[in-house]
Structure 1
């Protein structure tokens, strides 16, 4: 849930969500079907809370169920649904396939390490669709770097990014232009690039 909020702070909001196992509770929260307190209690005290959780009946985003392998409405996330989610197999492939059939092509796995990214890529390949599956974090790798790499990949795929939230103060932009007559064959060396002041554009910034 915290990672989903981090993405949202950068202007990245999902068009739809799919949750794996207990992650489906987090997906329901991101979709707006469960409040944060209710989702947290459902995760920690699933047995007792299942008799109390009724869902809000209203969702802001689409959610694909790994129980039904279809889109699920907010009112469908009641106590019976969560009890069934414990008994039934987790059908991630079916849920992802339905999302792809509905036109979803870009997937962002929100978690400490990519577990389903490869499976999602296989689902896309199996349906002959071009798309991408990106991680939020990778175990053993720099967290910030991994997140920014995926953020940049989303931007190249046409998704809007709120760059001002990442770089509110802007920064310098280095413009490198070819110098006429600078040829390695003549032994001449290019001059230092000119530095211009301006706002940071859609890049990963500078260290």
Structure 2
């Protein structure tokens, strides 16, 4: 956790360790996306280090959305400092979209969900396919409210996710050029642990996890279901 704090602090201007410990300090609100995502990153990397210290070594890694950054660091494809850059830059960019969108979980197969999204046009899109029967959508906040209400009234399990932005949706498009520029110098290495990608549906060799990959990771639907099938 100390190493994560040291890697993130120059990028964020605050201490992720203090945030996680509940220390009152000079940091933004703890529920803001540019605090939540670095904190999740640090916790993920820290937990993996704890498991390894106890002799638990992964045979493979897979991550969901920003969780792929943790997976890349744990696999050895990205250094801790590279991972910190990706997660800090991504969360800071997404902050600019806060208040403009939303996301929701729908416990239905993706094909059925896509049919239900059709009347909404470009307002909604599939953000992630978790399993064969669980799908996440994202898009305009009002449209999210409407479809969740519709499905809930029909007895379908649907609930809003506690975010006010729309990851893996066209709302992310304006952020991508700036992120590509910040990630231009990323030079990933070969992973020591197999990395199962939810973006490419493949086991990556390492060089694919460059700046362009992390832009796609933010914009494209998360195909967690396919990674699980490969695993």
Q: TM-score, normalised by structure 2?
A: 0.41
Larger Rg: 1
Greater fraction helix: 2
- Normalising to structure 1: TM-score of the pair? 0.46
